[in-house]
Chains A and B, each alone.
Chain A
Amino acid sequence: MDTSLVLVAAKALPALSGSSLIYSPEKNVYHTLGYTSAAGNTYYRAIRFSDRLAVYYDIGEGSVRTFLNGITLFAWNGQKANIIAQKFWGGCNWRDFNERSAKEESILMLKDYLAGQAKAMGSMVAESQLLDFSRSMIEATHQKRLA
């Protein structure tokens, strides 16, 4: 794995509340150990990151279905990470987990963050450019990091 990204993981993977991480090379994703409820459902986080951001999926695994309970995006600020977007699903608004749609949702969340920042700074950036940049940034978190 790229040494600079090892450094990022060691220093800055945020808000894990002391959880251990397991790296799954075939999907290039980190998983927290998670928690299994009395009802037998398992909850964990799937994490991908690049040198620009970290993407957390909150996942719930039931006996039949796997749910996407939330997505959180973090941006780096120096060597720390800050939340820049969060979305939750659940209850009557439940959502099946699907890698493709979770990735598309992450791209839109990042685009909205960039649009908000650009607006706050008084900059005009074309929607298409925001979307292109967001897509490339999220794609970067999905790239294989192992040599």
Chain B
Amino acid sequence: MANLTKAINKNLFDSILPTFGNPRVHIPVWDEGQKMFLCEEYESANGHRYYKGVRFCDRIVVVEKVGLYHNWTYIDGIEVYAFNGTRLELVQKKDYEKEFRNESFIRKESETMVCNYIEGVLKAQKSSMTQAELEEKAKAIIDGCYKSFLDVDFNTRLTQILPQIEQK
């Protein structure tokens, strides 16, 4: 039985960490260190590397565009999507010029963007909320996006949105 388990796990490991020349199974990569899924990675002709980092909760999706050049890692853009049924709708977008990637900067920017989105919707509906309430709401939503996929109570159904992000 122990050998069978070992054999099954060897096949699993071979598919997710294959030897050079063999294809890796197409499963979204969860990066626990950055608390996000890594998608759409590619390398340009001059050796720069780009990928999208995706975080989400049951309310919004935050996509960060990351660029790696020489020794530096830049944040090229942040996009915030809201759900409309099972579809995603872009509600905020921000691009950056030569901004070094910094975790606390991204978190703060994400909170501000969610705050701006809610404020805009409220204004369009001729409704309002205090700034403190808005900020608290936005912070709670973004905090929810930093939940670990490895946690037992992570809502794995939400990973179904990843193919939609890859198509954008």
A-to-B contact residues, CB < 8 Å: 4, 7-8, 12, 14-19, 32, 34-35, 43-45, 51-53, 58, 70, 75-80, 82-88, 91, 109, 112-121, 123, 125, 129, 133, 137
Contact = CB atoms under 8 A, between A and B. Distances in A.
Contacts of A82: 24, 29, 38, 41
Contact of B20 (A8, A17, A119): A8
A85 B70 CA distance: 18
Contact of A51 (B19, B33, B101): B19
Interface stretch (B46-54, B86-94, B139-147): B46-54
A118 B156 CA distance: 13
Given A17-B47, A76-B24, A133-B13, A83 B29 contact: yes
B38 A84 contact: yes
Residue in A16, A17, A34 whose Cβ sees the most chain B Cβ within 10 Å: A17
Given A15-B43, A18-B47, A78-B21, A85 B31 contact: yes
A14 B156 CA distance: 31
B43 A112 contact: no
B33 A17 contact: no
Contact of B24 (A77, A114, A120, A125): A77
Contacts of A76: 18-22, 24
B18 A75 contact: yes
A35 B70 contact: yes
Contacts, number: 136
A83 B38 contact: yes
B27 A15 contact: no
B30 A116 contact: yes
Contacts of A85: 29, 31-33
A52 B46 CA distance: 24
B17 interface: yes
Residue among B68, B70, B101 with most chain A CB within 10 A: B70
Interface in B128-168: 149-150, 156, 159
Given A15-B48, A85-B32, A113-B30, A34 B24 contact: no
Interface string B113-137: 0000000000000000000000000
Contacts of A84: 29, 31, 38
Nearest to B162: A120
A14 B43 contact: yes
14 contacts: A52-B18, A75-B16, A78-B22, A80-B43, A83-B31, A84-B38, A112-B33, A112-B150, A116-B150, A117-B30, A119-B30, A119-B150, A120-B149, A133-B9
B12 A125 contact: yes
B69 A17 contact: yes
A79 B20 CA distance: 6
B23 A78 contact: yes
Contacts of A87: 33-34
